[in-house]
Amino acid sequence: MTPPLVLHKDISFNDRASKAIGAPLTRSTLTTLQVNLGKRCNMACLHCHVEAGPKRTEEMSVEHIDDILELLSLSPQISTLDVTGGAPELHPHFKRLVSGARDLGRRVIDRCNLSILLEPGQEDLAHFLAEQRVEVVASLPCYLEANVERQRGKGSFSKSVEGLLILNALGYGLPESGLILNLVYNPTGPSLPPPQPALEEAYHQQLKTRFGIEFNYLFTITNMPIKRFQTQLQHNGELERYQALLIDHFNSATLEGLMCRELLSVSWDGRLYDCDFNQMLELPLGAAPQNLSALLELARSQSLQHIEGAKIHTASHCFGCTAGAGSSCGGALS
């Protein structure tokens, strides 16, 4: 079992953040619901903070899927549904959730591992995503095969390339199509991501020249020293050095854009968290409501403005979001 994360005990993220902005971190208007549909995945990547894999069985109930659709129908302020997992597409009600949210006029993001597009039974997935005009955010930790395979397993790079070509063939990532295809880079080891704009340029150039692949934007994301990646760092004797690196590169300019300010993370069992990382660490939401049913009750009876200004549950791992240019589900922050 992975021991709890202990960063330098004398350095509190909350103190650092409060000092920089003159008050503790609090929530702003809720605009994004990030829903984790479960832990089942066709892959088992080394850096996976969800510890997802083919043998995991946890998945969201049908009742919770219905609750999410009702919540969206009652809450126009939630403009984005961000669907993640595991491989969210493996959930039997993935399509119903996506098309329901699209019918309600919401922007929908699918966090897709690309290889899922090639899995048996998923032959129509790419068409479905294009038809529903879902934004695809796809992990591709490098444009070099060896680096991707070290992190995601043998054969993963060619599957990613194939998946991207399938999406391109439907118009994804092409100028004028309006079908958004964004890629996600994360370092393959214990270092901070390089500057996002320069790396995006290199990705465009390499992927276009070598495979004819197009995409919209590249998001650079910092690896969180939690779960599987933490175990790997510990195994290699690199955990302390990596933790110190994150703390030493604390950048107060990232605080304003932290994703926990506008996003709520919903776990497969309906519990609520300030972000996906807190969900994996089981750090409950800084303020009531604590689960989907209570949130829906709030939306039915009054308004979600109730949770604005609520304190965010921070801990040492938060230094992973504020190091260097910062990190979020939408990439660098400053």
Binding site residues, ligand SF4, CB under 6 A = 41, 43-45, 48, 50, 52, 85-87, 113, 258-260, 274-275, 277-278, 312, 314, 317-318, 321
Q: Give least dist CB 325 to ligand SF4, A.
A: 14
**Omega before 187 cis (within 30°)?**
no
* CB of 69 or CB of 289, closer to ligand SF4: 289
State in angstroms the smallest separation of the CB of 46 from ligand SF4: 9
CB-based contacts of 121: which residues, under 8 Å, 6+ apart?
A: none
Residue 147 burial by Cβ neighbours in a 10 Å radius (0-12, 13-18, 19+): middle
Q: How far is the CB of 153 from ligand SF4 (least distance, A)?
A: 9
**Minimum CB distance to ligand SF4 smaller for 243 or for 314:** 314
Nearer to ligand SF4, 9 or 55 (CB): 55
Residue 283 tokens read as: 């750090």
CB 231, min distance to ligand SF4, A: 14
Nearer to ligand SF4, 89 or 200 (CB): 89
Min dist CB 300 to ligand SF4, Å, is 27
Instruction: Using the minimum distance from each CB to ligand SF4, give the nearer residue, 11 or 44.
Output: 44
Shortest spacing between CB 158 and ligand SF4, in angstroms: 15
Q: How far is the CB of 73 from ligand SF4 (least distance, A)?
A: 27
